[in-house]
Amino acid sequence: FCVFFFFYRVIFLNNYRNSCNQQIIKQDFIKPKWTQKNAGLRSSPGLLYKQPRVLIGRTDVASVSPWSAAIIWEGTFDATLIDSIYKQQNLTIATTVFALGKYTRFIKDFLESAEQHYFVGFRVHFYLFTDQPESVPEVKMGENRSLTVLKVQSLNRWQDISMKRMEKLEKLIENELAGEADYIFCLDVDTMFYGRWGAESLGRLVGVIHPWFFDASRDQFTYERRPESLAYIPAGEGDYYYAGAAFGGTLEDVHTLTKTCREHLNIDAANSIEAVWQEESHLNKYFLLNKPSKLLSPEYMWRGINEGATPIKIVRFADVPKNYAEVRPNA
């Protein structure tokens, strides 16, 4: 019996191993949809920059999350060094923005200010979704910078415009961006750039800490609190409150994010529930369960250029004032 059992085990294990090997071999042949450049963080010989010091840094803010993701603030990176590293990677940054209805009035300032401050010196491809391509203003784009205008259907509710973005982004990444871009950022249009936003923001999955909640306790966050919604976060849980107005990362990670949020928005809609802050609520739930690999401080999505707060030493990107009742299609 022992001899029989021994042979049985050998045969079983061999078959088991063979079937595993087969699976592994098959995986080798699956071509990834999006290839990620893995150039390493190469520096150039002779490059001079300020000495990094272990005992000197920002002490007024946290610059790392509890899962060891960097939180980017002014003073936590060296722009010369970081540009030099990432310029060697020959990257393309896809950047999406939506302007439907009266929000087309924000396009010009958004794009013109991006030309001055956003990934300067890098290849940037803007994708502008609008229901009125004819009213997109002429903006002079710099070398290696381009704009593609994509027509979308008008919608009557601002909530639907805001939420629908997840699906449009998912499809854009799937259908247009493979092989065309390395990273993507998805931004609100009623905004302007006022300071540098560059390669320090690049990461696999990037969230921006919301400008109104960076100092609040987690129970004050405006997470969705109804268990019926897939965006539900119970009291006592949560890391940060993230802005819906800006997020990004690699194509693969942002594709999974937008696909998941789109699916959850659809399931909520089928159950007749709309999360309190629409896709922003679902984004917050996603980031709770899928921690961002890099966090951008509220310098990267500030309340407005004239608003101050103690830890904000530079405003890089901020909301522009708007009269909600006047610009939105519904109140």
What are the catalytic residues? 280
Site string for ligand UD2, 241-280 (x = CB under 6 A): --xxx-------------------------------xxxx
Our CB check for ligand UD2 shows the closer of 77 and 213 to be: 213
Q: Rounded to 10 degrees, what is the CA torsion of 63, 76, 250, 131?
A: 100
Among 75, 304, 311, 329, binds ligand UD2 (CB under 6 A): 329
How many residues line the site for ligand UD2 (CB under 6 A)? Answer: 22
Contact 65, 291 (CB under 8 A): yes
Among 65, 162, 250, 258, interactor with ligand UD2 by CB under 6 A: 162
The CB-of-190 to ligand UD2 minimum distance in angstroms stands at: 5
* 188 lines the binding site for ligand UD2 (CB under 6 A): yes
To the nearest 10 degrees (0 to 180), the angle between helices 251-270 and 278-289 is 120
Q: How far is the CB of 184 from ligand UD2 (least distance, A)?
A: 15
* 158 binding ligand UD2? (CB under 6 A): yes
Q: Strand, coil or helix: what is 130? A: strand
DSSP H helical ranges for the chain: 2-29, 79-87, 107-117, 158-172, 251-270, 278-289, 324-327
Residue (182 or 279) nearer to ligand UD2, CB: 279
| Local structure of residue 174 (DSSP, 8 states) | I
Site string for ligand UD2, 189-218 (x = CB under 6 A): xx-------------------x--------
Smaller CB distance to ligand UD2: residue 144 or 156?
156
Amino acid at 9: R
Using the contact rule CB under 6 A, the part of the chain among 84-92, 141-149, 158-166, 217-225 near ligand UD2 is: 158-166
Residue 320 in contact with residue 106, Cβ under 8 Å? yes
Q: Tokens standing for 106?
A: 């924000």
Quick one: which of 71, 72, 91, 100 contacts ligand UD2 (CB under 6 A)?
100
103 touching ligand UD2, by CB under 6 A: yes
Contacts of 278 (CB under 8 A, 6+ apart): 159, 162, 163, 244, 265
Indicate the residue whose CB is closest to ligand UD2: 244
Q: Does 328 bind ligand UD2 (CB under 6 A)?
A: yes
Contact 165, 98 (CB under 8 A): yes
Shortest spacing between CB 258 and ligand UD2, in angstroms: 13
Stretch that binds ligand UD2, among 45-53, 94-102, 108-116, 120-128 (CB under 6 A): 94-102
User: Among all chains, which residue has been given the structure tokens 């990461």?
Assistant: 203
Q: Quick one: which of 161, 168, 139 has its CA closest to 259?
A: 168
DSSP β-ladder status, 317-319 and 205-209: unpaired
Q: Which residue in 36, 82, 39, 31 sits closest to 182, CA to CA?
A: 36
The first and second tokens of residue 170, run together, are 């998912």
User: By C-beta, is 75 or 304 nearer to ligand UD2?
Assistant: 304
Question: What is the contact surface with ligand UD2 in residues (CB under 6 A)?
Answer: 98-101, 103, 158, 161-162, 188-190, 210, 243-245, 277-280, 301, 328-329
